[in-house]
Structure 1
Amino acid sequence: MTAFPLWAERLYNTPVALAQHKNDALCEFAEMRISGKSSLPERIGVGSLEGVQMRAMSDEASFYNEDGRKPFQFKGSIAVIPMRGTLVHRADWMDAESGLCGYNRLLKQFRAARDDRDIKGIFVPTNSGGGECAGMFAAAEEIAAMAKAEGGKPIYVYLDEQACSAAYVLASAGDKVLGRRECIGGSIAALMNMIDKSKAYEKVGLEPHVVRASWADRKAIGTGGEKFDAELLTKMGSLVEEISEQIVEFVAAMRHVPVKALKSLRGEVFSGRDLLKYGLIDDIVSEQEAWAMLEEEIDQAA
């Protein structure tokens, strides 16, 4: 049997906030790799699972001006902080090249834009199916605290393609959430992927034995090919339920949508018109129009 590689530890046996299409794609890749029944290359390019297009005004942003380099892209007085790829707790610039977007890197750019006197607003082009729950709430709460609604600079999130699950949690922290008619978003809940490998062990004639302290009989239960029992599944279900409640409560507070209404969406993904109908975005506009709206708000505040 093949042990889970490090990248799989982010996908299995821990709560994640991913849209179904994103979760299915990642799990399919993972299962083929773990089972060895695939001719995939050694390195999975997660970024290939999602488009990374940036269009219109944000595409003209640069890190540089006559004074040197900033820690974020910008155009005029607007910082551009893309939220693209699979969201993870921590990632560096090399991970970003593989399609991972670290909450730590996002916050570093947001903080720099907040503290930059030349920057009057923040534009966030978004294309992410979600990611890890670890670090998600801390990032979303800090971004919300930087928004104009809390006395900061206006933050406009633009759904260039998608903002699902963890990505939507962060998007909801902005002052405005806008998108194209064909954009998708929502999937407001967490989930957990688990694989019971006991039948695979049995099939190849292996009987797992995990030695535990006499008083720690539930430690790492279900590991090493042990069969999952009802108590384990109930406990993991309770954990997912708790995190999902926190997600719904946060989005409800940010978007001023009742918790009951959000739960009635049942974790589904929606496209532009329905996102607008359910109060998950503020308007359906092009990226140029969204940019112009932010510029107008900045001008009015000057």
Structure 2
Amino acid sequence: MANPEKQNKWKAIIKVLIGLTLLSFILAGFFSLFIDTDFESLSGNVALIEIKGTIMSEKDGDFLFEDVTSSTEIRKLIKKADEDPSIKAIIFEINSPGGSAVASDEIANEIKKTNKTIVAWIREIGTSGAYWVASSADTVVANRMSITGSIGVIASYIQFSGFLSDHNVSYERLVSGQYKDIGSPFKELTPSERLLFQKSLDKMRDYFIEEVAKNRNLKKSDVEKIATGQFYLGSEAKELGLVDILGGRDEAVEVIEKKLGIEAGIVRYKQERGLFDVFGDVLSRQSFFAGKGIGNSFFTKAKLSNSVSIST
């Protein structure tokens, strides 16, 4: 018969070993975040600002562990670079599918205020609101296989009135104002509500087209023809006038060096990061190394409310 004391002793040892393993696993991740193999200079004359993930006005709990670019933070970085006399140019490294129309417009407007030379470098993807931002740059660089374009606006929400009806649940509508509960998931849109939404979306699309046409020196009528929401490869986008140069970071740097006659030294400007951002990166990185395939995003929280998601 096994000795209970010995069993408890071995259980305690196993628990300690598991705890130490997990601790070393997490600490290794933290250290790896601060050891950059790119070894970019802490000082330089060209600021590199990253536009990554969904573009929103602010980061919030609904995007925990997901890549989010805050327009508030990016505007601060642009102002910081613009006010630094040692910074001669700014490169925006874009890897984003877009996001909030307001947040995209805020970043684009801030770019236009700066006196620095601006280059947008679209890496994997720079569509919709992210392309709105890119179009505000002096020069747009993209890989021939980058995904860009997708000029348009989308609105959506979850509507489950049919589900409620099937389960004998009714929606008692008590409002003061015809459109007070427009977009409620508990009822279908009326024809007039749908028309109201569509008018707003069409107006936002028109703003988008006007900005791209103005930023890219294109005729509005030409931009309207390609503003179908379709995405384009970098090579196709260049033919359409949406991209200037096919290439990557080296080509973006080369544009600046030729235009300003300087030798570029890159300094990375980063968004402020909270504890959840760092912890999320650690878990994401370690999970990837462990072969879990989780990547950067652990979960998406679906919001069932009477709000409608509108994005570029």
Q: 2:195 aligns with which of 234, 251, 268?
A: 234
Is the aligned partner of 1:163 residue 2:138? Answer: no
* Equivalent position of 2:249 in the other structure: 287
* Distance apart, 1:59 and its partner CA: 7.8
User: Please, what TM-score do these two structures have when normalized by structure 2?
Assistant: 0.68
Cα separation, partners in 2 of 1:96 and 1:139, compared to 1, 3 Å? farther
Listed as ranges, the matches of 1:207-246 within 5 Å are 207-213=170-176, 216-246=177-207
Cα separation, partners in 2 of 1:61 and 1:261, compared to 1, 3 Å? farther
Asked whether the 8 Å contact 1:275–1:281 carries over to 2, the reply is yes
* Equivalent position of 1:118 in the other structure: 86
What's the Cα RMSD here? 2.5
Structure 2 Cα separation of the partners of residues 208 and 278 of structure 1: 49
Rg comparison, structure with higher value: 2
Structure 1 Cα separation of the partners of residues 86 and 141 of structure 2: 24
Asked whether the 8 Å contact 2:148–2:233 carries over to 1, the reply is yes
1:155 match: secondary structure: strand
Letter in 1 for 2:52: R
Cα separation, partners in 2 of 1:222 and 1:255, compared to 1, 3 Å? closer
* Distance apart, 1:284 and its partner CA: 0.7
Aligned residues: 228
Q: 1:107 aligns with which of 51, 75, 85?
A: 75
Cα separation, partners in 2 of 1:59 and 1:81, compared to 1, 3 Å? farther
Asked whether the 8 Å contact 1:95–1:101 carries over to 2, the reply is no
* Equivalent position of 1:64 in the other structure: 42
Cα separation, partners in 2 of 1:63 and 1:99, compared to 1, 3 Å? farther
Listed as ranges, the matches of 1:133-172 within 5 Å are 133-146=101-114, 152-172=115-135
Letter in 2 for 1:178: V
**Post-superposition CA distance 1:212-243 (Å, at most 9, x none):** 23xx1331135251221111111000110000
* Equivalent position of 1:176 in the other structure: 139
* Distance apart, 1:94 and its partner CA: 11
Structure 2 Cα separation of the partners of residues 258 and 59 of structure 1: 44
* Distance apart, 1:301 and its partner CA: 11
* Equivalent position of 1:270 in the other structure: 232
Cα separation, partners in 2 of 1:77 and 1:222, compared to 1, 3 Å? closer
Letter in 2 for 1:230: P
* Distance apart, 1:113 and its partner CA: 0.4
Structure 2 Cα separation of the partners of residues 188 and 143 of structure 1: 19
Structure 2 Cα separation of the partners of residues 121 and 106 of structure 1: 15
- Percent identical pairs in the alignment equals 23
1:296 match: secondary structure: helix
By relative contact order (CA 8 Å, sep 6+), the higher-ranking structure is 2
* Distance apart, 1:92 and its partner CA: 7.4
Q: 2:152 aligns with which of 182, 189, 192?
A: 189
Asked whether the 8 Å contact 1:186–1:280 carries over to 2, the reply is yes
Structure 2 Cα separation of the partners of residues 128 and 247 of structure 1: 17
Listed as ranges, the matches of 1:13-28 within 5 Å are none
Asked whether the 8 Å contact 1:208–1:224 carries over to 2, the reply is no
Cα separation, partners in 2 of 1:207 and 1:233, compared to 1, 3 Å? same
**Post-superposition CA distance 1:149-183 (Å, at most 9, x none):** xxx11011111111100000011111000111111
Cα separation, partners in 2 of 1:222 and 1:141, compared to 1, 3 Å? closer
Structure 2 Cα separation of the partners of residues 111 and 190 of structure 1: 28
* Distance apart, 1:134 and its partner CA: 2.5
Cα separation, partners in 2 of 1:64 and 1:95, compared to 1, 3 Å? farther
* Distance apart, 1:62 and its partner CA: 4.3
* Equivalent position of 1:298 in the other structure: 260
Cα separation, partners in 2 of 1:234 and 1:92, compared to 1, 3 Å? closer
Q: Which runs of 5+ in 1 are unaligned?
A: 1-57, 66-75, 147-151
Letter in 2 for 1:278: L
2:85 match: secondary structure: coil
**Post-superposition CA distance 1:25-80 (Å, at most 9, x none):** xxxxxxxxxxxxxxxxxxxxxxxxxxxxxxxxx98464735xxxxxxxxxx21100
Q: 1:84 aligns with which of 47, 52, 76?
A: 52
Asked whether the 8 Å contact 2:141–2:251 carries over to 1, the reply is no
Structure 1 Cα separation of the partners of residues 106 and 42 of structure 2: 29
